[in-house]
Structure 1
Amino acid sequence: MSERPNVYACVPLDRAAHRRKDADWLNEARRSATARVLPVWQSRNFVTGPADAPRAVLVPASLDLGQEPIFLGLLTEGEAAGAPVFAVDLPGAESPDTLPPLAGLGRFEDLRSVGPQMPPGEGAYCAYARGMAWWNARHRFCGVCGAPAAMAEGGHVRVCTDAACATHHFPRTDPAVIMLVHDGGDRMVLGRQSRFPPGVHSVLAGFVEPGESLEEAVAREVLEEVGLTVTDVRYCSSQPWPFPSSLMLGFTARATSFDISTDQDELESARWFDRAFLRDHTPSDDFRLARKDSIAHRLIRDWIDQG
């Protein structure tokens, strides 16, 4: 499974981390004629094209968007390979797609709506831009002393401006396990939360707690959510999920108990589903699987195909 990247993974950029501390290089890169910017507004990405074939818009860095850019890296694919790419968050603009630098170039869309239809590389660097913009916007002040925190190292660090504190803050990623529980045969568990769109069912998931291994988190979350014990916890693949800041770690696990007891605080419902049903069903408002850009959908489809 790990040989095929998940949606939003494998961003086609050289992150060039060694350049982040070189302020002179960053300034020169911003002024480069090839430099491009991915605008972000209210956690939405700037895209163009029809709804069924959206494309990311990388605008010239020479456009004045009035905000400090975040260095993402150097393009590694296409004719523009080697070009520096930045993200710019536009938090104060009421309707930024009408600003003179952006007018007529595209529109801002929620990546969760357009990402599944985008070319994989473009979806990946849009996700990267979204995640970095979100983190910087929410860490403008030091979490230790409350003083303003200034952007540093191309937006990958924020430093407390109080010299007596000077704490360095780094982007956080919240690890979450997502697991397909099966019975060792042709049944697997799917559940739904009340906040899901009508009919949507998915595999189980939950955040890793401090002092807990990934395997322990899988077993604990399954027991808490559906009352099942599991063994044979196997890692499959991972997916960046910047909605807002998670890393989804995909697993399968074999149940050793089979009577489901649903935690109503976590799930609206959960039950066993047969492989044949999942293979042959027609998506409807009564039953459909998790969104296609999610690792949950990937886990389910791969399990179905193995039978």
Structure 2
Amino acid sequence: MSPRKSPAPNFYAGVPLDRIDQRRADATFIDRLVSDPDCIIVPVWRNKHLIAAEAEAVWLRRRDAGHLVAVAREHMFLGLRSDVPYLAVDLSHLETPEDDPVLARQGAFQDLRAVGPVMNRCDSAILAYARGLVHWHARHGFCGVCGSPTVSEKAGHQRRCTNPACGAVHFPRTDPAVIMLVHDGGERCVLGRQPIWPPGMHSTLAGFVEPGESLEEAVAREILEEVNLPVAVEDVVYHSSQPWPFPSSIMLGFYARADFGPLDTAEDELESAAWYTRDQLRASPEDETFKLPRPDSIARRLVNDWLAEG
């Protein structure tokens, strides 16, 4: 039996905006929304967000920061929150955005991965959403079919090739990745470590889904590749998902039951991997000798829910 998931949503999920997809193609309507003086401007600079001292997202009103829309490389309508529109603006082409008098007195641009775990969950979800869109636009300025320039459409939620002979439409990309806690049905689970991670950090196994593969098959394949444990697809159980726009993934969380046995770690995948008991994880020193996954990750959620079952 697999562990039950707790009711709390994952970090960066639950964006509190009405995306009004059915109205995005109405340029006149969207322009009217984002021209509202109360429209919230969400600045993004080189994948960083404007954060105030106490890890609070800085929301700028158009009446105070409308010039940012004019200088932005791209701007994208995010949605409505209590009828207030939110608009992401990409300022990555600016060398020193802190020189702008409006931005300078509000806070500093920081990586969401550094402040997300301690931020308001709704605010961090909006910032993650904005970051994902900005990243996609920055990397799809040219058509992947014919190489011609593309233009933003549908309020920033698609791009179209400008070559009349092509006209291909491109949509924001999200790469599916499976992430799984392997357990033996009892007191033990598998955690691994990649050498590029912060000292001591261990996490669950994960990998991208390949073409022609179900999610359950991807879970079983990745476990076999990384630690050489056979897992039957019927022993793979879905837990939850998490948007992870660092830069463009959707993490699909699973539990997978495997028979306890020796691990043969793939050196090109992991630095190490081992079985750990619940007692060992509960006693984690959380230092450079051993620490659990970062608190805003679905990996940590999988571990926490598994621990809560024992």
TM-score range, shorter chain: over 0.9
Task: Report the counterpart of residue 273 of structure 2 in structure 1.
Answer: 270
Tell me, yes or no, if the aligned pair for 2:174 and 2:249 is still in contact at 8 Å.
yes
More displaced stretch, 216-225 vs 281-290 = 281-290
**Among 70, 77, 82, the residue aligned to 1:71:** 77
Task: Report the counterpart of residue 243 of structure 1 in structure 2.
Answer: 246
More displaced stretch, 242-251 vs 40-49 = 40-49
Q: Which amino acid aligns with 2:160?
A: V
Counting only pairs closer than 5 Å after superposition, residues 15-164 of structure 1 correspond to structure 2 as: 15-50=19-54, 54-62=55-63, 63-65=66-68, 66-67=71-72, 68-75=74-81, 81-164=82-165
For 1:9 and 1:151, the matched residues in 2 are separated by 25
Report the CA distance between 1:100 and its aligned residue. 2.9
For 1:98 and 1:86, the matched residues in 2 are separated by 21
Q: Which amino acid aligns with 2:89?
A: V
Cα deviation, 1:263-292, whole Å, max 9, x if unaligned, reads 000000001001111112221110001100
Report the CA distance between 1:41 and its aligned residue. 0.5
For 2:231 and 2:225, the matched residues in 1 are separated by 12
Higher helix share goes to which structure? 2
Tell me, yes or no, if the aligned pair for 1:2 and 1:236 is still in contact at 8 Å.
no
Counting only pairs closer than 5 Å after superposition, residues 171-250 of structure 1 correspond to structure 2 as: 171-231=172-232, 232-250=235-253
Tell me, yes or no, if the aligned pair for 2:98 and 2:104 is still in contact at 8 Å.
yes
For 1:40 and 1:46, the matched residues in 2 are separated by 7
Structure 1: gaps (5+ residues):
76-80
Cα deviation, 1:35-91, whole Å, max 9, x if unaligned, reads 1111000001111123xxx1111112242111242010001xxxxx21000100112
The SS at the match of 2:104 is coil
For 2:126 and 2:302, the matched residues in 1 are separated by 23
For 1:69 and 1:83, the matched residues in 2 are separated by 16
Report the CA distance between 1:257 and its aligned residue. 5.5
Tell me, yes or no, if the aligned pair for 1:229 and 1:257 is still in contact at 8 Å.
no
Specify whether residues 304 and 2 from structure 1 end up closer, same or farther in structure 2 by C-alpha distance, changes over 3 A only. Answer: closer
**Among 286, 299, 308, the residue aligned to 1:305:** 308
For 2:218 and 2:260, the matched residues in 1 are separated by 18
Tell me, yes or no, if the aligned pair for 1:226 and 1:262 is still in contact at 8 Å.
yes
For 1:133 and 1:265, the matched residues in 2 are separated by 32
Tell me, yes or no, if the aligned pair for 2:284 and 2:292 is still in contact at 8 Å.
no
Normalising to structure 2: TM-score of the pair? Answer: 0.94
Identical counterparts, % of pairs: 55
Q: Which amino acid aligns with 2:19?
A: R
For 1:298 and 1:124, the matched residues in 2 are separated by 16
**Matched positions, count:** 299
Tell me, yes or no, if the aligned pair for 1:2 and 1:237 is still in contact at 8 Å.
no
Cα deviation, 1:117-138, whole Å, max 9, x if unaligned, reads 1000001000000000000011
For 1:101 and 1:138, the matched residues in 2 are separated by 28
Task: Report the counterpart of residue 78 of structure 1 in structure 2.
Answer: none
Tell me, yes or no, if the aligned pair for 2:12 and 2:244 is still in contact at 8 Å.
yes
Q: Which amino acid aligns with 1:134?
A: H
For 2:179 and 2:32, the matched residues in 1 are separated by 42
Q: Which amino acid aligns with 2:105?
A: G
Task: Report the counterpart of residue 254 of structure 1 in structure 2.
Answer: 257
For 1:111 and 1:165, the matched residues in 2 are separated by 37
Normalising to structure 1: TM-score of the pair? Answer: 0.95
Cα deviation, 1:190-223, whole Å, max 9, x if unaligned, reads 0000001000000000000011000000000000
The SS at the match of 2:95 is coil
The SS at the match of 1:200 is coil
Report the CA distance between 1:32 and its aligned residue. 0.6
Tell me, yes or no, if the aligned pair for 2:293 and 2:299 is still in contact at 8 Å.
yes
Structure 2: gaps (5+ residues):
none
Report the CA distance between 1:189 and its aligned residue. 0.3
Q: Which amino acid aligns with 2:307?
A: I
Report the CA distance between 1:2 and its aligned residue. 6.5
For 2:6 and 2:304, the matched residues in 1 are separated by 14
Tell me, yes or no, if the aligned pair for 1:183 and 1:255 is still in contact at 8 Å.
yes
